[in-house]
Copies of this chain bind each other. A is one copy, B any other.
Amino acid sequence: MALIVQKFGGSSVADADRVNNVANRVVETARNGNHVVVVVSAQGDTTDDLIEKAVEINSNASKREMDMLLSSGEQISIALLAMAIEKLHHPVISLTGWQAGFKTNAEYSNSRISKIDTERIKSELDRNNIVVVAGFQGLNKYDDITTLGRGGSDTSAVALAAALNADKCEIYTDVDGVYTADPRIAPNARKLNEITYDEMLELASLGANVLHNRSVEMAKKYNVKLEVKSSFEKVDGTVVKEVADMEKMLIRGVTRDNDVARIAVIGVENTPGIAFKIFSALAKENINVDMILQSVGRNGNKDIAFTVTKNHMEKTLEILNDLKSVLSYNEVTCRDDLSKVSIVGAGMANNPGVASKMFEALFESDINIHMIATSEIKVSVLIKVDNAERAVQVIHDKFNL
């Protein structure tokens, strides 16, 4: 008897019809002779609605109380899903994060799972119950409810699959798998049957919002077999695992990310420690920096350019302003009209022509490149946001994905 962990996101349980649909999928899996643990998120807009209620009362509420508030969202959805499964006459029980044994570190709002005590879940499975678990939440050492932050429910599901040594962890989403590009942009994009953890990590961080990176990292660490599937259509999804069967494809996919602000610090002195001073100050404020480019500018001075997400732009500019006397730069410029377009694929590491082929595609379409960054398995360029969709298309075509 196989043990399968299934995770359904907020849009998959947004209303009564969808909850019933999920119940049908889950019960079908159980009746096919599997033990099933289901992880669910809060319904549709519940989390946003709760945040709105909180902000109306106190826009600066403590993270502890926010976690107390938000965790009620998944509690509602596990109860409703359990009720829908009851109606299908299959034994079922819902468990909150703390009932399911999720222990986290002390931090609130963006907590890390430290351990899962699986006794309760195992005893419920032994009683032939489908176990419906609240994603996104756990309990810290103070017996306080914590939440796992963005992508938390995916992480809950993968961690549970690892702790239970499950045969598979199925992540159900709005899309039916991982594509070589966003099908809304590149109509001839095709679905991948398999992909490696590393490729998935690059794709996720590049804006293919199918799986959150934390969950993929954890799946890689514990070798959990993941499958990304559609909540609505019954078709095979994309399997994420250590070594993908080689499909002889150089490039796995083309992605686009519009949530990019480029900051350039122009004309800093060419002395050691400048980069350290900038990026440690940003790290202290929890600002993630993505692409970084350093160039020698005029008169021996340097320019340092980097990207952050748009919501961090203002704060970054403030920090750089505070550092003006330390860095003695000429000026700081910023742009938020750019988009990051990237190609990803383990195959490109040993294939020097890949980057230039991408640049060629952009040149042929008269798309100007504002910044370039490369890694072992990806090449990213910043281009004007108006060009982003077209860029994805022409790159996708160029590589015949």
Residues of A145-163 at the interface with B, using a CB-CB cut-off of 8 Å, are 145
Query: Which residues on B sit within 8 Å (CB–CB) of A83?
Result: 54, 57-58, 61-62, 65, 69
Query: Which residues on B sit within 8 Å (CB–CB) of A65?
Result: 79, 82-83, 86, 94
Contact check, A58 vs B87: say whether CB atoms are below 8 A apart: yes
In the bound assembly, the distance between CA atoms of A229 and B83 in angstroms comes to 39
Check A372 for interface membership: any CB of B closer than 8 A.
no
Residues of A70-116 at the interface with B, using a CB-CB cut-off of 8 Å, are 71-73, 75-76, 78-80, 82-84, 86-87, 93-94, 96, 99
In the bound assembly, the distance between CA atoms of A116 and B16 in angstroms comes to 37
Q: Identify which of B54, B80, B86 contacts A69 (C-beta below 8 A).
A: B80
Check A68 for interface membership: any CB of B closer than 8 A.
yes
Shortest Cβ distance from A67 into chain B, in angstroms?
A: 8
Q: Copy number in this complex? A: 2
Check A218 for interface membership: any CB of B closer than 8 A.
no
Check A19 for interface membership: any CB of B closer than 8 A.
yes
Known: A16-B53, A79-B54, A143-B120. A68 touches B87 (CB 8 A): no
Check A50 for interface membership: any CB of B closer than 8 A.
yes
Contact check, B20 vs A57: say whether CB atoms are below 8 A apart: yes
Check A394 for interface membership: any CB of B closer than 8 A.
no
Check A371 for interface membership: any CB of B closer than 8 A.
no
Check A334 for interface membership: any CB of B closer than 8 A.
no
In the bound assembly, the distance between CA atoms of A71 and B134 in angstroms comes to 14
Check A204 for interface membership: any CB of B closer than 8 A.
no
Shortest Cβ distance from A28 into chain B, in angstroms?
A: 18
Check A355 for interface membership: any CB of B closer than 8 A.
no
Q: Identify which of B62, B75, B87, B99 contacts A86 (C-beta below 8 A).
A: B62
9 contacts between A and B (CB under 8 A): A53-B76, A54-B83, A57-B83, A61-B83, A62-B82, A68-B94, A69-B83, A72-B75, A120-B143
Shortest Cβ distance from A151 into chain B, in angstroms?
A: 22
Shortest Cβ distance from A166 into chain B, in angstroms?
A: 23
In the bound assembly, the distance between CA atoms of A84 and B65 in angstroms comes to 10
Query: Which residues on B sit within 8 Å (CB–CB) of A120?
Result: 143
If over half of A's interface residues share one DSSP class (helix, strand or loop), that class is named, otherwise mixed; here it is helix
Which 4 pairs of residues, A with B, have the shortest CB-CB distance?
A69-B79, A61-B83, A72-B72, A58-B83
Check A175 for interface membership: any CB of B closer than 8 A.
no
Check A282 for interface membership: any CB of B closer than 8 A.
no
Shortest Cβ distance from A137 into chain B, in angstroms?
A: 11
Query: Which residues on B sit within 8 Å (CB–CB) of A69?
Result: 75-76, 79-80, 83
Q: Known pairs A54-B83, A61-B83; list 6 more (Cβ under 8 Å).
A: A57-B80, A62-B86, A66-B79, A68-B75, A68-B82, A72-B75
In the bound assembly, the distance between CA atoms of A80 and B16 in angstroms comes to 27
In the bound assembly, the distance between CA atoms of A78 and B120 in angstroms comes to 27
Chain B residue with minimal CB distance to A56? B16
In the bound assembly, the distance between CA atoms of A32 and B57 in angstroms comes to 24
Query: Which residues on B sit within 8 Å (CB–CB) of A143?
Result: 99, 120
Contact check, B61 vs A86: say whether CB atoms are below 8 A apart: yes
Contact check, A16 vs B79: say whether CB atoms are below 8 A apart: no
Contact check, B54 vs A80: say whether CB atoms are below 8 A apart: yes
